[in-house]
């Protein structure tokens, strides 16, 4: 959850005499491990805190360990299920961002009642519901689609990270998601916010690649950039790697000249 949303919730809470406290827990480029999930569920149960599990990337796992859903965890340990809520969408797993189909699943009757009343502001058309239902009822198709997606994600991730490694750019180990974090410290003149943003502007405007600086995600280490690797074909990936290689060569030459 972004800092802007946190601030909006704080303002809304204060207006209604309620203090809102939020903590976003996730592992960059990786699915949250089973033991970590167990710790989180035990903690929220002990402190009586609501847990909203965003499982939108559930089927993007392409390496082990695979995805662990919160319902699996609450079957293993005792907890107050009224505190557990799950959100999901077809936009990532099935590649349907334009259909705007989302799901809220909660064990809390008050929560589901509220969500049902609010759903009138974002109704999914009957035709879309019929199409999506028909697709999801085809178990063979869904299983083949997810398996093929995982195979392609794994291959693309391997090719991309190997290409980056050839020019001395490392990345966080990843086992899921459609993007990962690359380490561009070798291209930074200094570890400051200003130099990170300067490098980002060079990549966007001169190199013509769409990446996001870690500071936009409130990353505490100034060197990480977020790159989506799943929204391009193989030739586009090769073009991107050639541009990154040229950027590294130019930056190395510039830094050598300065020293």
Q: Note the pLDDT tens digit of each residue in 84-116.
A: 999 999 888 888 888 888 889 999 999 999 988
Q: Is pLDDT of 154 > 60?
A: yes
Residue 13: pLDDT over 70:
no
138 or 12: whose pLDDT is higher? 138
- The closest alpha carbon to 172, from 24, 20, 15, 29, belongs to 29
Please report how many Cα atoms fall inside a 13 Å half-sphere around the Cα of residue 240, on the Cβ side: 21
* pLDDT band, very low/low/confident/very high, at 53 (cuts 50, 70, 90): very high
pLDDT of 3 above 50: no
pLDDT (mean) for 118-138: 90
Burial of 75 (0-12, 13-18, 19+ CB in 10 A): exposed
Does pLDDT of 161 surpass 60?
A: yes
pLDDT at 119: 84
For 40, phi then psi, to 5°, come to -65, -45
In this predicted structure, what is the pLDDT of residue 44?
Answer: 92
Res. 15: pLDDT tops 80: no
Classify domain 31-136 by CATH architecture. 3-Layer(aba) Sandwich (3.40)
217-233 confidence digits (pLDDT tens): 888 888 999 999 998 89
Query: Has this prediction a pTM greater than 0.75?
Result: yes
Give the chain's mean pLDDT. 87
* Residue ranges of the chain that CATH labels 3.90.1150.10: 141-258
- What percent of the chain is predicted at pLDDT more than 90? 58
| CATH 3.40.640.10 domain residues, the chain | 31-136
DSSP 8-state class, residue 20:
-
Q: Determine the CATH number of domain 141-258.
A: 3.90.1150.10
pLDDT for res 121: 85
Poorest-confidence range of 11-25, 92-106, 177-191? 11-25
């Amino acid at each position: 959850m972004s800092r802007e949303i946190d601030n909006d919730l704080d303002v809304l809470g204060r207006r209604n005499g309620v203090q809102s406290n939020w903590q976003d827990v996730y592992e960059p480029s990786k699915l949250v491990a089973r033991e970590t999930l167990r710790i989180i569920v035990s903690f929220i149960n002990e402190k009586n805190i609501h847990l909203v599990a965003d499982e939108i990337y559930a089927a993007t796992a392409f390496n082990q360990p695979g995805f662990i859903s919160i319902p699996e965890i609450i079957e293993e340990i005792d907890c107050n299920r009224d505190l557990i809520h799950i959100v999901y969408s077809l936009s990532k797993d099935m590649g349907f961002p334009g259909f705007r189909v989302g799901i809220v699943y909660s064990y809390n009757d008050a929560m589901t009642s509220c969500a049902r009343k609010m759903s009138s502001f974002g109704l999914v058309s009957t035709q879309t519901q019929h199409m999506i239902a028909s697709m999801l009822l085809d178990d063979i198709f869904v299983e083949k689609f997810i398996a093929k997606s995982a195979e392609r994600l794994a291959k693309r991730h391997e090719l991309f990270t190997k290409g980056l490694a050839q020019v001395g750019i490392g990345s966080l180990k990843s086992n899921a998601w459609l993007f990962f974090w690359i380490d561009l410290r070798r291209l930074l003149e200094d570890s400051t916010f200003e130099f990170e943003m300067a490098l980002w502007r060079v990549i966007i405007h001169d190199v013509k690649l769409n990446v996001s600086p870690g500071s936009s995600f409130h990353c505490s280490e100034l060197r990480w950039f977020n790159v989506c690797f799943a929204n391009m074909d193989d030739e586009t990936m090769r073009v991107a790697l050639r541009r990154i290689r040229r950027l590294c060569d130019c930056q190395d030459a510039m830094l050598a000249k300065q020293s």
